[in-house]
Structure 1
Amino acid sequence: MKKVMDLAIKDLEEAWAPVHKADISFVRTEVNPQFVGVVPPSDVIISTTFEVELENASGTIALVIPYSTIEPIKNKLNASFQTESDRVDKEWTAKMEEHLRNTEASVRVNLGSAMITVGDLVNLNIGDIIPLSQNADGELDILVEGVSKFKAFFGVSRGNRAVQITRIPDNE
């Protein structure tokens, strides 16, 4: 747990660096937050909880910051948030958009379905025909990651079988 805390402290110091130099140190581990005793019970605190899962252990880390330590630098926080956050948000958004655009998604066209008995199934031979529920000239469902997202007609484009999107269905 000490290694995890050391890494978290390093990241916290880096996160605070643009606003104010923070010297953060690990004092001790406490199972019950009531017994930490960093500030009197009447003081206001800022508390954030993290669920941590490691290979062989898991637990909760509570980051508790007494408001009295933030109050002297709150003007820096406001100024930094307004200027720094826009730049960071735009960078993060651009990276996320690039990542999403390069993510592959499974796309499947549902040509139809049929119900047959197991007896019919075991007796199927090459050349047998199974009638599908879908009309041959009707709109087909395009499934993205298993979810119906588009309607389309089946056809041929440049010598390849293809579908032409006709509409985006309402939440059916």
Structure 2
Amino acid sequence: MAKILSQEEVDALLRSHAKGAKAGPAAAPAPERASAGAAQRAKKAQIQKKVSLYNFRRPDRVSREQMRTLHFMHDRFARNFSSSLSAYLRTITEVNLVSVEQLSYQEFLLSVPDPTCFNAISIRPLEGAFALEVNPQLVFPIIDKMLGGPGEPLKQMRTMTDIEQSIFDGVLKLLLDDLREAWRGIIDLEFRIQARETSPQLIQIVAPNEVVLLVVFEVKMGSVVGMVNLAIPSIILEPVAGKFDQEMYTGYKKSSNYEEARLLMESIKRCDMRVCAEIRGTNLRLSDILALQVGDIIPLTQRFDAPLDLTLDGIPRFHGYVALNANQKRIFQISSMKQEV
């Protein structure tokens, strides 16, 4: 059992402590002990220099290089979507990338309005989903523009009806197509709308405390300005983290002109062109053409065995001959290219 000190013993201890404090300075430590203490203090200072602040509620799950790659990708998407949306709505629209930042999914949900256009986007072949939010300040003017109106915003915000959601799906499909094209350099993803709600709290793509990458776009359509938010869970990027670094070291070294030229060439390759094999004839007056009947003969200016011109949208590009293949179908065999003038 511990001994309890009396009041006299406590006073004696306090007096002895006061006498020790009034005593002279302590003796200098031995050189060995001084050097050991200095080394310990230096080691402690070195350890303290390596300490950095870390917020466990908002950890940085994505490296700076990956953030730069994401910024580059979505800036390219903003330019492409601006052109696509302008052609789709037949009005001038401007899409700009505002920021790319990391925050928790709960903080993202608190930052978006309610009600709004909130969508969960599946990303096959990866597991998980993206969250896409389009502000109602932008949704209703676009719907009004698509229905032939001036594209003015609502005076009082409300939830979207089923018909309005179906109309706006055309814009969402256009957005997802351009987003897939922007991500193609990293991985070819198939974006599809998995779920849609007007209240953001009803869709949980990840846990509330999970870190997401928030990509914010600003869309301008005349006097209307609205925001588009894309939330990407950081855990989804872990399987393709190496590809982000590869895009960083290869994609950034290419000039923007080269990238734009490549995208332009890919778009041109999907264009339809009219191909015709033309026979050079003779000049006829309109009265002669109107008087033509079955059996009439029109003189030509070239021999029957002379090569024909193959035109692309009316522009002569190749020389060749009309022939029959094994299935007795007419084909055109190219013999030479037309020389550029």
Q: TM-score range by the shorter chain?
A: 0.3 to 0.5
Kindly indicate whether structure 1 or structure 2 has the higher relative contact order, using CA contacts under 8 Å at least 6 residues apart: 2
The structure that is helix-richer by fraction is: 2
Computing the radius of gyration from Cα coordinates, the structure with the larger value is 2
- Structure-1-length-normalised TM-score: 0.46
- Structure-2-length-normalised TM-score: 0.26
